[in-house]
Structure 1
Amino acid sequence: MHNLLTDIAGVRVGHADDAALASGVTAILFDRPAVASMDVRGGGPGTRESALLDPVNTVDGIDGIALAGGSAFGLEAGGGVQAWLAEQGRGFKIRDALIPIVPGAICFDLLNGGDKQWGRFAPYRELGYAAAAAAGERFALGSVGAGLGATTANFKGGVGSASAMTPDGVRVAALAVVNAIGSVTVGDGPWFWAAPFEVDGEFGGRGLPDHFTPDMLALRIKGGPAATAIENTTLAVVVTDAILSKAQAQRLAIMAQTGFARAIYPVHAPLDGDIVFAAATGEKPVDPLVGLTELGMVAGNVIARAIARGVHEAAALPFPGALPAWRDRFG
């Protein structure tokens, strides 16, 4: 295992981004259609094909997930991923028609210093195609893909990933794009809120402070008192090789949101658009009660770790006034 989302067999991840734009796309592809659902906790989400992930609706399997910057413009990334999958003959078959199923979500990065004057059409469809074409088993973390332009209250955000295995051998892994209104670190120090769940020093091994001061627990949000809605979102995808129904996948997504609360302070605000997609590749059976509960517990842990890694691995944008990266300040 490489501590990546692709530790789940049959899952591939690709990035495409533009340094001048300071934005990009991350594509998650499934070699076979995966059962999937989602849970939304933030007050300002931006999504594509979210309705079909409701357990009461018909389509069970998805072919990919598109995550993008660009706010609502970035929703076009799903069309690019869809186009690449269609060229591979992938999709939901209706007689002679084939329709790749690609839900997606976006985060706001339009004010990060990049050049967003793209003319008539935004570049996200082409970036989505390129991200899908680049998908593989190994992929970069930090300031790449959909996380290139991401920020938090005090440090540069980015793409993070983590994986784990239950005692019964069921794998769970997560990928997060961290663009939160809140902070992923405690106060002005090097400590990550997710420190109790860290594995093998994956985000610096700094632990937690000896005690929490009022300043550490004070409200720290991106933009301060001038903060506005829809500028902030953390996106996460959690995938397991368990056999789950669509309703069980939704329960997994709901439980996995716990990881946001373990890693971001504050979280699930009216100023966020926080979303978790949950997908299952259907390899290993799990008990529908205790087994699913354990799976959700572990999913929350890997999401917390992925969020911390997204900030730990990020690099600052090369623009005046850009937020520092965690590594710039703490090595």
Structure 2
Amino acid sequence: MIEGVLVGGYTDEKANSGITVLVAEKPNVAGISQRGGSPATLGTDLLRPMHRSNQSVDAIVLTGRSVFGFRAVNGVLLGLYNMGIGFKIGNLRIPIVVAAAIFDFYDNEILPSEEWGFKAIEKLSTKIPIGRYWAGRGATVGKLRGIKYGKPSGQGYFEMEKGRLKVGVLSIVNSIGNVYDEEGKLVAGIESEGITENNALGTTLGVVITNAKLTNSDACRVASSAENGFSSVIRPYNLSLDGDTVFTIATNEIEVNVDEVIALAYYAARKSVLSIFGGVK
């Protein structure tokens, strides 16, 4: 994990779902790209251009259980508040937390609680488990013919370096589309001539983490590049019932050309998805 960002999570085995949290240790610049037709997001307008300039976040939360996952986000918010983390207004600190959710009510209707969020930030570290963990616990892919054909997916991560520049991409892949490797071979899913089941819900979530110095507009552009990377290995992508959303968090350590970050984010995003299925080369 890139220095300046810690990660934590919680998996609820009964619910077959969970939550992934990234906590910033220092001021940063964040951005967003949100292309899916049915997003479940919280607090994300703050990260768009024409809002407060170069906004810093305290945490980015990816969660299961659709909008009900925001109950767990409240636990993160209160936990950070108890830790004295947040934007200072007078004697009060208000944690700046943004979130996005996947729909994973496939085999039960168990709702999350604030406790998920508290547990997720109990033991923050630099280690990201890859596979069916945290927010990726109940994720599936390849639902073009309906959820009964869905294949297990999960949480991925891949990090790249170019000189002093570092770019990592965390992914939660819960797509309607199939996953293909970089040569176009089917990795997970089922071949289908178009979509034959139109009520399946899918979402791919991501966070680009970099030590580059970026503006808010740059951070949004980098997040968009990661979406391009996702769409190159997840097909189809950005459907009307997808909630695809990608964040960027930049720790502002080094000055680089933004195009270098854009390029690495694209390739790291592809490999982050494939890491879930053991396909990174």
- Secondary structure of the 2:220 match is helix
Which residue of the partner structure matches residue 156 of structure 1?
152
* Partner deviation per Cα, 1:68-127 (whole Å, 9 max, x = no partner): 01011012222111112112111011111100111000000012x2x424xxxx324211
Alignment partner for residue 249 of structure 1, among 203, 208, 219? 219
The CA distance in 1 between the partners of 2:13 and 2:213, in whole Å, is: 40
- Secondary structure of the 1:293 match is helix
Which residue of the partner structure matches residue 321 of structure 1?
none
Which residue of the partner structure matches residue 228 of structure 1?
199
- Does the alignment pair 1:73 with 2:44? no
Alignment partner for residue 128 of structure 2, among 108, 131, 139? 139
Which residue of the partner structure matches residue 116 of structure 1?
109
Given that 1:25 and 1:124 are in contact with CA atoms closer than 8 Å, whether structure 2 keeps it comes out as no
**Greater fraction of residues in strand:** 2
Give 2:117's aligned amino acid: G
- Does the alignment pair 1:56 with 2:50? yes
The CA distance in 1 between the partners of 2:205 and 2:227, in whole Å, is: 10
The CA distance in 2 between the partners of 1:78 and 1:102, in whole Å, is: 8
Give 1:147's aligned amino acid: G
Report the alpha carbon displacement of residue 133 of structure 1 after superposing the two structures with TM: 1.5
Q: Which has the larger radius of gyration?
A: 1
Q: CA RMSD in A?
A: 1.9
**What are the ranges of 5 or more consecutive residues in structure 1 without an aligned counterpart?**
1-5, 186-191, 197-207, 314-331
Which residue of the partner structure matches residue 324 of structure 1?
none
Alignment partner for residue 34 of structure 2, among 36, 40, 45? 40
The CA distance in 1 between the partners of 2:151 and 2:24, in whole Å, is: 32
Given that 2:65 and 2:112 are in contact with CA atoms closer than 8 Å, whether structure 1 keeps it comes out as no
Given that 2:128 and 2:157 are in contact with CA atoms closer than 8 Å, whether structure 1 keeps it comes out as no
Report the alpha carbon displacement of residue 217 of structure 1 after superposing the two structures with TM: 7.2
Give 2:196's aligned amino acid: P
**What are the ranges of 5 or more consecutive residues in structure 2 without an aligned counterpart?**
143-149
TM-score, with length taken from structure 2:
0.90
- Summarize the Cα distance change of 1:305–1:219 in structure 2 as closer, same or farther, 3 Å threshold: farther
The CA distance in 2 between the partners of 1:47 and 1:134, in whole Å, is: 25
More off after superposition, 35-44 vs 71-80: 71-80
Which residue of the partner structure matches residue 244 of structure 2?
274
* Partner deviation per Cα, 1:242-265 (whole Å, 9 max, x = no partner): 111111111111222111112101
The CA distance in 2 between the partners of 1:298 and 1:272, in whole Å, is: 25
- Secondary structure of the 1:133 match is coil
TM-score, with length taken from structure 1:
0.77
- Secondary structure of the 2:264 match is helix
